[in-house]
Amino acid sequence: MKIDLHVHTTVSDGTDSPAELVTAAAAAGLDVIGLCDHDATDGWEAALTAGEAAGVRVLRGIEISCQVRGNSVHLLAYGCRPDDQALADELARNRAGRAERVPTMLARLAEHHMPIPEDVLARHVGDSPSVGRPHFADAMVELGYVADRGEAFAKWLADDKPIYVARYSTPLEHGLDLVRAAGGAAVIAHPWGRISREALPPRYLGALVASRQLDGIEVDHQDHDAATREELRALADFVGAVITGSSDYHGIGKLDHPLGCNTTTPEALVKLERRVQARGGVL
Ligand code: AMP
Ligand code: FE
Ligand code: FE
Ligand code: ZN
């Protein structure tokens, strides 16, 4: 049983449509995928329908943009009720923050002699309701300003680079409360990847798990090296957090982490499912 609990589609910054994602998952030999688009749930229905036909189980997930003292952290939510209004409203607030920064980012790109015509950006955003920096990166690649998404982030788009514009994101503990109230299970995404290690020290993560606000920790992720994974695994075992792993697949935009490159054990999935069931969420 092969389980990949965190993947993206064109509903956010992935490049496969929900149906294409399911086809790719079946081809990769996956039995279960957690569809976790950034701040959006619009892919759930199409992926679930495609999953039924292809024999791939699709879990309803979300990767919620959160913040802890000004640091960006990502929260994975599984099994939230689709009709939960408070959660839907907060996701809409995050998406609005994404859209509001677009004009400033375009102006800064122009100042740096990398103008992006609005129709070029619009083509890369497509019908995603959740515009993200990878859409800008793809437009920059098309216009020949950078070679790939990685270079776009390293030189221009990362949180400490010139084109970065801060946006609204959910205070983490509020996000945890919303997920639980919607019947879901909460897993902190790649907690010690990129810049979030300072924001999420072991004691804080441990306290969130101990208080049952947080259910799990995503340990096996490409942003964690082997030593980091061992540290996180030890912490998760010590505090009783469910350990997950995922590819964080984004399609052709990021080829270095294919579907199924990291996986979650069936036992871990059962633990998450029990919590969702106990809270009245949907599986
Ligand atoms: P945003 O959603 O606008 O905050 O952009 C963050 C997203 O950009 C992440 O979810 C990743 O998918 C992607 N990302 C972040 N850093 C990089 C990088 N160095 N290379 C490629 N994609 C990245
Ligand atoms: Fe992403
Ligand atoms: Fe993430
Ligand atoms: Zn992700």
206 has a pLDDT exceeding 90:
yes
| Phi, psi angles (nearest 5°) of residue 194 | 35, -110
pLDDT of residue 27: 97
For atom 6 of ligand 1, which residue has the closest CA? 133
Q: Is 248 in the pocket of ligand 1 (CB under 6 A)?
A: no
Mind listing the pLDDT tens digit for each residue in 256-268? 799 999 999 999 9
Residue 1, C-beta contacts closer than 8 angstroms, at least 6 positions apart: 31, 32, 266
Q: Write the pLDDT tens digit of every residue in 44-72.
A: 999 999 999 999 999 999 999 999 999 99
CB distance 81 to ligand 1 below 6 Å: no
Fold category of 3-94+168-279 in CATH: TIM Barrel (3.20.20)
Rounded to two decimals, what is the model's pTM?
0.97
Is the CB–ligand 1 distance for residue 13 below 6 Å?
A: yes
C-alpha 25 to ligand 1 mean position (Å): 22
The phi, psi pair for 96, rounded to 5°, reads -60, -40
Q: What is the mean pLDDT of residues 238-262?
A: 92
Domain residues of the chain, as ranges?
3-94+168-279, 102-157
The span from the CA of 197 to the CA of 64, in Å, is 17
Mean of per-residue pLDDT scores for the chain: 97
Q: Which helix (H) or strand (E) holds 227?
A: helix 226-239
